[in-house]
Amino acid sequence: MLVAETFNPAPGFSTTSETARRLGVTVGRVLRLISSGELPGVRVGNRWMIPDDAIDLRLAVRPSDGRRYAPSMAWGILFLATGLDTPWMTRQERWLARGFLGSSTVLDIRARLASRGELRRFRAHPGLIAALRSDPLLMLTGMTASAELHLGLIGGGDRVDAYIDEANLPALIARHHLRPSHDANVNLRVIPSIDWTWPPASVAPLAAVALDLLDDPEPRAQQVGAQVLAGMAPA
């Protein structure tokens, strides 16, 4: 049985009670995190010790509201869920992301992945859509990516759905003469700069594409997005 401890742990480790205090949760919650594999613990007799660096990592990737993952973690989860490598993550970050996926589906944690990119809507001249779609600064998603991924969706040829690193957004706007618009034909999800080579892929991982299809106004796109995510079992 998992129990809390009151002894002094070895250097570099914390008790469950100290871990709970640092994370702002109950000891019972800490024990459940250990049991589910989301937090590593070392068993000493009938007590648990938690590595301090694992606590620090959880604090770093967890935003203050306790719901959304940090952008680098959100993207790590989406890439790993699709079976892709995550070279920007440390081994411990990768281990933590796999722990999240081991107990939940991407659909289960959809709200916590919202930090993957902030949606910005633009208008481009229709004659420039094809050139914009092939711009190397973009990582395609949503309806624009559906043909590349053979998802069986028809349409979307008159618009662009993509991700862009925030550092590259000004250059993209200038190059393709984009202007903010409520009547948008360019939907860009702006990603806070992450320590990766941009773009990490020409097409977003399937898990991210499916999430973006769920947000599409077209009912058929929403249906396909839900079907894709429903088929993604925990890793």
Tens digits of per-residue pLDDT, 212-223?
A: 999 888 889 999
For the chain, domain boundaries: 13-59, 66-111, 117-230
Tens digits of per-residue pLDDT, 27-44?
A: 888 888 888 777 888 888
Most confident of 68-72, 163-167, 214-218: 163-167
pLDDT of 186 above 90: yes
Tokens of 57: 């990592």
Interior CA angle at 174 toward 169 and 179, to 5°? 85
pLDDT of 5 above 80: no
Tens digits of per-residue pLDDT, 55-65?
A: 877 776 554 44
Which strands sit side by side in the sheet containing 13-14, from one edge to the other? 13-14, 47-51, 42-44
The whole-angstrom distance between residue 193's C-alpha and the CA centroid of its chain comes to 14
